[in-house]
Structure formats: structure tokens, C-alpha cells
Amino acid sequence: MVEQLVLTNVYALVRDRHNPSRILLQQRWKPESDPANSGRWELPGGKWRAFESLAACAEREVEEETGLREVEVQVSQTDHELLGDKVQVSDAIQLVQMLQGPYPSLLAIVDVLASGLPHSTGDGSREVQWLDQETLIEMMQNEPQTFTALSFAALRHRLLVQ
């Protein structure tokens, strides 16, 4: 049996800096590699590059996928060094793991503040937009199938459970 490993992706729960009740969502669009989830709502995010800090990855992914430039990642980071190795500890992240589904996945989700008019710029996303939190909650309650499972779980936990 071949061992399957999980690669962590970094996603962002982006709130509008000037109106924090607005949350940024986009539609996933990867019809070739992920047809089951294409067209479903998700948080912006993506692949975490080797030796990239958590905050740098979140900022890069939000900028790449939404075109927003004034991005402020809300995570506390502390750097440590020992015997020439540099290590960074990050606080205030949410981990969301796919336990059963089409592919193994683990998301490290951070809070982000941003402002501006978003637009789809990256491959794999479209229809990026600010949604009022109440509208988002209604969508989650009435149309849960329109979300990716990982983003739905993250949003449900943050907006409805906590």
C-alpha cells in the first residue's frame, strides 16, 4: 500500500477592513483537476511554498487570487534560531482537515483584513466578491452544497459554532 501524505494549504478568512461584517469569497474554478468542486464557494488560498512564512503565503494567495493589495494578515509570529536553523512559531490559526473525501487536504486558515474592490486574477478562481456575513450565513444554511466542504466547515465553525 502506498502511503498518502497531506500537503498543507494556506487559506484566508478575509474581512473588509472598513466593514468587518463583509467576508471575501470566491468560486473555485478548476474544471480539469477538480470538477466536483468547480463553481463552489470557497475562501481564497492555495499552496504553501517551502520555507515561506505563514503570513507571507496568506498575503501572496489573497493578492494573487483577488487582486487586493492592502492585505494585513492577523497572525502573531515569533522567530527562533538554534544552531543556524531558523524556525517561526505562528499563533491564531484554524486547522481544517479532510478526513474522507476526494483528496487528502489540510488547510491552515488565518484571519486577514483587506480593502478594495476584488477581482478574479488567479487561475482556479472566479466571481470573487465581498458578502455580508448575514447573507453568507443564509447561503450556508439554505445552500450548503454550493460550498467546498473544507471552506464550509471552516466558515460554519467560525460563524455558527463559536
Does 3 reside within a domain?
no
Residue 145 backbone dihedrals phi, psi, to 5 degrees = -70, -10
Go through the chain and tell me how many residues it has. 162
pLDDT value for 36: 84
pLDDT value for 48: 96
- Domain count across the chain: 1
Average pLDDT score, the chain: 93
Q: Lowest-confidence range among 9-18, 65-74, 115-124?
A: 115-124
pTM: 0.93
Does 21 reside within a domain?
yes
Q: In 3D, which of 76, 75, 140 has the Cα closest to residue 109?
A: 75
Residue 56 binned pLDDT confidence (cut-offs 50, 70, 90): very high
Does 113 reside within a domain?
yes
Given a cut of 90, whether residue 161 has pLDDT beyond it is: no
Contact (CB, 8 A) for 102 and 2: no
Which CATH number fits the domain that encloses residue 103?
Answer: 3.90.79.10
Does 134 reside within a domain?
yes
Cell numbers standing for residue 132: 455580508
What range defines the domain where residue 153 resides? 8-161
